[in-house]
Amino acid sequence: MARNRFDVDENLETPFNIKHLLRAGVYIGRHKKKMILSLLYSAISAACALVGPLLIQRAIDVAVPEKNIGELVLLSVLMLVSIILSILFARARSKYMIVVGQEIIYDIRKDLFEHLQKLSFQFYDDRPHGKILTRVINYVNSVSDALSNGIINFVLEIFNLILIAIFMFACDVKLALIVMAGVPLFLVLVLLIKPAQRRAWQDVSNKSSNLNAYLHESLDGMKITQAFTREEENAGIYDKLNKNCYKTWMKAQYTSNLVWYSVDNISTWVVGAMYLVGLMMLGPQVQIGTLIAISSYAWRFWQPILNLANLYNTFINAVAYLERIFEMIDEPVTVDDAPDASELPPIQGNVTFENVTFSYDGAVNILENFNLQVRAGESIALVGPTGAGKTTVVNLISRFYNINSGRLLLDGHDIAGVTLHSLRSQMGIMLQDSFIFSGTIMDNIRYGRLDATDEEVIAAAKTVRAHEFISEMEDGYYTQVNERGSRLSQGQKQLVAFARTLLSDPKILVLDEATSSIDAKTERLLQEGLQALLKGRTSFIIAHRLSTIKNCDRILYISNKGIAEMGTHEELLRQEGNYYHLYTAQLES
Ligand SMILES: Nc1ncnc2c1ncn2[C@@H]1O[C@H](COP(=O)(O)OP(=O)(O)OP(=O)(O)O)[C@@H](O)[C@H]1O
């Protein structure tokens, strides 16, 4: 999935590739039994429905002239039974198909989500989340119908077509040939219209994917939109994307209608021709019952053809969607366990950067030959100008990104050679934007250690001074909070996140601007809790407010792709370098 934006169409313009349909066979194969049963039920239903005209023919041509009441009653009963059976089997089939369709959706979504959770930060950095949602929801929905109903219908319509042709020829060969004469003409028309039709439907999915991407982005940024009164401009952008959806939909509908009109016209002409010839031949050659029966088959004969034309379109689109879905399932997990990865044993917390070079885009290095040795239990502060690479340094310790060269060691173990789970489960990370999930506050604190007791959760909250405000909420720890914690203040969110991190009892702690939204009074209180939290753990603290990191064992001033200055607060002040200037500037302000 290439780097993309809400105003850039995804490229769906790939030739029909049967490979994707075959691969989708894995999902269909799991429901083989139900599919076969559905097919059987469909076939029985179709065969029952086709018996009707033959019964009518028999009634008109034989039973009525012979005034055979017994046979007429029998034919009526048979007609009724055939209709009832046809309906019952059709119902049973559609019940199975609904189940299969939903199971296929379930399976594909499960695989997609499991894979999405493994994909690296880089993947999410590069893509609008609305487009990922479109793949997981819209594309999977469309594909599931093609894979369940589509395949069954395809087989069924072919079966129907053959059966109707047989019934027609059984009635009258010459008239049947007239009805079939329209088929080659229809095929030519379809071949002419199809490419445009396919492009038109692909346009529809592109435009609705763009709309979703923009909608998602807008919902995320709604507060900023309102703060900057950008509603009108955004409504304009949305309107444009919305109109694109409308226009492409209308165009696609128009091209699809062309096929329908073609079938309608051709079928009317050939059936008309068949009536004409049939009426001219009426008499000993063609009886009235035969003409009625064959005309009924003739109308039915064109329905499966129309359905097959539509199915062709469904498959073409499904293959394009499948390609996008498989592309996402195949998206390489760039940050993954090495094949021979070992479990990182419980660590002390020694961290070593050995000549680490890192770049996000492969072009510009953010860190170059970065070297650092941190002893277990040490607290390290990272300061420096915006964009210098402080967050990057701490992101690398958790291996959210792979380094380009060099080594990163924890207690002497190269993090590239250990499992991500054993590595990250020993890390505690707190970011400035403390994400709160929907659920209770208790759930949120327990997020990183599901087996923690309520008492442990409360103890963690007390340590980080979160207990007081939580207790004041209407349901205390069981108060429901919304996704992103919209009913909590920024500072309260950070305190909850602190408790969450403390509870997970990490050996290495990363606090990235974690106390920026906490007021000075709470922070003083928190500092006490923080001291308890930091005790016995290696910690990396990024803070722009230098008063919060003065007491760290070492302060690193990051700039120019590496460490420009390093030492204790006092040592750095004595150097009168960058840190000194930064600190005195903050004191003055
Ligand atoms: N996901 C990303 N993809 C590409 N470039 C990135 C990405 N994240 C950060 N960068 C770039 O890497 C550089 C370092 O970013 P980083 O976030 O580490 O800086 P920082 O020192 O933590 O900044 P701040 O103090 O503003 O938080 C910046 O120039 C930034 O533009």
Percent of the chain with pLDDT over 70: 93
Report CA(45)–ligand 1 centroid distance (Å).
64
Q: Alpha helix (H) ranges present in 221-287?
A: 222-227, 231-280
Q: What is the mean pLDDT of residues 565-574?
A: 92
* Ligand 1 neighbourhood includes 507 CB (under 6 angstroms): no
Nearest residue (by CA) to ligand 1, atom 24, is 386
* Ligand 1 neighbourhood includes 453 CB (under 6 angstroms): no
Report CA(389)–ligand 1 centroid distance (Å).
6
* Ligand 1 neighbourhood includes 387 CB (under 6 angstroms): yes
Report CA(366)–ligand 1 centroid distance (Å).
8
Report CA(176)–ligand 1 centroid distance (Å).
73
Amino acid at 395: N
457 confidence band (pLDDT: 50, 70, 90): very high
Burial bucket for residue 93 (CB in 10 Å: 0-12, 13-18, 19+): buried
Task: For residue range 165-224, list pLDDT tens digits in order.
Answer: 888 888 888 888 888 888 888 888 888 887 888 788 888 888 888 888 889 888 888 878
Amino acid at 336: D
1 confidence band (pLDDT: 50, 70, 90): very low
Per-residue pLDDT for 130 more than 50? yes
Nearest residue (by CA) to ligand 1, atom 25, is 386
511 confidence band (pLDDT: 50, 70, 90): confident
Report CA(403)–ligand 1 centroid distance (Å).
15
Report CA(558)–ligand 1 centroid distance (Å).
12
* Ligand 1 neighbourhood includes 561 CB (under 6 angstroms): no
Give pLDDT, residue 203: 85
Instruction: Pick from 123, 367, 386, 391 the residue to mutate for probing ligand 1's pocket: most ligand atoms within 8 Å of its CB.
Output: 391
* Ligand 1 neighbourhood includes 388 CB (under 6 angstroms): yes
Q: What is the mean pLDDT of residues 471-480?
A: 90
Assess contact for 444 and 500: CB atoms under 8 A.
Answer: yes
Residue closest to 355 by CA, chosen among 572, 551, 516, 562? 562
CA 3 to chain centre: 16
Query: Positive or negative, the Cα torsion across 528, 529, 530, 536?
Result: positive
Residue 237, token pair as written in the block: 């952008």
Strands 351-359 and 365-374: antiparallel
Give pLDDT, residue 11: 63
Counting atoms of ligand 1 from 1, which one is nearest the CA of 393? 18
Give pLDDT, residue 2: 45
Give pLDDT, residue 119: 87
Counting atoms of ligand 1 from 1, which one is nearest the CA of 544? 25
DSSP-assigned letter for residue 437: -
Report CA(215)–ligand 1 centroid distance (Å).
26
369 confidence band (pLDDT: 50, 70, 90): very high
Residue closest to 193 by CA, chosen among 309, 317, 302? 309
526 confidence band (pLDDT: 50, 70, 90): low
DSSP for 477-508 reads GG-EE-GGGTTS-HHHHHHHHHHHHHHT--SE
Question: φ, ψ for residue 26 (rounded to 5)?
Answer: -60, -45
Residue 491, token pair as written in the block: 């500072």
**CA distance linking residue 316 with residue 18, whole number of Å:** 10
Contacts of residue 146, Cβ cutoff 8 Å, sequence gap at least 6: 314, 315, 317, 318
Counting atoms of ligand 1 from 1, which one is nearest the CA of 392? 18
Question: φ, ψ for residue 474 (rounded to 5)?
Answer: -60, -40
* Ligand 1 neighbourhood includes 386 CB (under 6 angstroms): yes
**CA distance linking residue 353 with residue 366, whole number of Å:** 14
Report CA(428)–ligand 1 centroid distance (Å).
20
ipTM: 0.96
Instruction: Pick from 119, 126, 360, 513 the residue to mutate for probing ligand 1's pocket: most ligand atoms within 8 Å of its CB.
Output: 360
* Ligand 1 neighbourhood includes 510 CB (under 6 angstroms): no
DSSP-assigned letter for residue 341: -
Q: What is the mean pLDDT of residues 488-497?
A: 82
DSSP for 519-570 reads -HHHHHHHHHHHHHHHTTSEEEEE-SSGGGTTTSSEEEEEETTEEEEEE-HH
Contacts of residue 285, Cβ cutoff 8 Å, sequence gap at least 6: none
Per-residue pLDDT for 375 more than 90? yes
3-state secondary structure 400-427: CCCCCEEEEEECCEEHHHECHHHHHCCE
DSSP for 10-40 reads --------HHHHHHHHHHHHTTHHHHHHHHH
Report CA(231)–ligand 1 centroid distance (Å).
29
Per-residue pLDDT for 589 more than 90? no
Residue 41, token pair as written in the block: 């039920």
Residue 477, token pair as written in the block: 């720890």
Query: H-helix or E-strand containing 288?
Result: helix 288-329
Counting atoms of ligand 1 from 1, which one is nearest the CA of 432? 27
Report CA(388)–ligand 1 centroid distance (Å).
7
Report CA(435)–ligand 1 centroid distance (Å).
19
Assess contact for 306 and 258: CB atoms under 8 A.
Answer: no
Counting atoms of ligand 1 from 1, which one is nearest the CA of 121? 1
Residue 68, token pair as written in the block: 């055979």
What are the C-alpha distances in Å from 291 to residues 169, 229, 282, 486, 513? Answer: 12, 72, 8, 72, 85
**CA distance linking residue 400 with residue 420, whole number of Å:** 9
Question: φ, ψ for residue 159 (rounded to 5)?
Answer: -60, -45
Nearest residue (by CA) to ligand 1, atom 13, is 387
Q: What is the mean pLDDT of residues 399-419?
A: 93
Give pLDDT, residue 380: 93
Q: What is the mean pLDDT of residues 239-264?
A: 88
Per-residue pLDDT for 485 more than 90? no
Task: For residue range 30-63, list pLDDT tens digits in order.
Answer: 888 887 888 888 888 888 887 888 888 888 888 8
Nearest residue (by CA) to ligand 1, atom 14, is 389
Give pLDDT, residue 528: 63
Report CA(390)–ligand 1 centroid distance (Å).
8
Question: φ, ψ for residue 549 (rounded to 5)?
Answer: -120, 5
Nearest residue (by CA) to ligand 1, atom 6, is 360
Task: For residue range 134-171, list pLDDT tens digits in order.
Answer: 888 888 887 877 777 777 788 878 888 888 888 888 88
Report CA(381)–ligand 1 centroid distance (Å).
17
